[in-house]
């Protein structure tokens, strides 16, 4: 005896319907731009931006040359300090 589940929808049709529904909701909310990409940078991201581009370049060159060394103690201290602040 064979039992068919007639209510099952193939995944491709289901995904297409989900995509269409999401696009319809976005259009209703007015969140879809006319083909233009847009991004906003949060205040936190701006705060994390490098303040000294010369130092950043120096570090990049040291890492690239294999000369950049990090003290395990300094890393551990920074991790603990960051954890205690939050």
Residue 59 lies in a domain: yes
Interior angle at CA 68, CA 67 and CA 74, nearest 5: 145
**Gap between the Cα atoms of 63 and 2, Å rounded:** 64
Q: What is the pLDDT of residue 76?
A: 96
**Would you say residue 27 lies in a domain?**
no
Asked if residue 44 belongs to a domain, the reply is no
Q: Could you tell me the residue range of the domain that residue 57 belongs to?
A: 50-86
* Residue 1 belongs to some domain of the structure: no
Q: Higher model confidence: residue 5 or residue 22?
A: 22
Residue 5: what pLDDT? 59
User: Which comes out higher in pLDDT, residue 30 or 53?
Assistant: 53
What angle (nearest 5°) sits at the alpha carbon of residue 76, between those of residues 70 and 82? 115
Q: Is residue 64 part of a domain?
A: yes
Per residue in 44-58, pLDDT (tens digit) is: 777 777 788 898 899
**Which strand (E) or helix (H) includes residue 82?**
helix 72-85
Q: Tell me if 41 is assigned to some domain.
A: no
Question: Total domain count for the chain?
Answer: 1
The first and second tokens of residue 16, run together, are 């297409």
């Amino acid at each position: 005896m064979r039992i068919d589940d007639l209510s099952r929808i193939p995944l491709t049709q289901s995904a297409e319907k989900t995509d269409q529904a999401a696009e319809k909701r976005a259009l209703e909310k007015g969140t879809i731009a006319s083909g233009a990409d847009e991004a906003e940078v949060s205040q936190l991201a701006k705060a994390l931006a490098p303040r000294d581009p010369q130092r950043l370049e120096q570090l990049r060159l040291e890492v690239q040359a294999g000369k950049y060394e990090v003290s395990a103690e300094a890393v551990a201290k920074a991790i603990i300090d960051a954890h205690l602040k939050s």
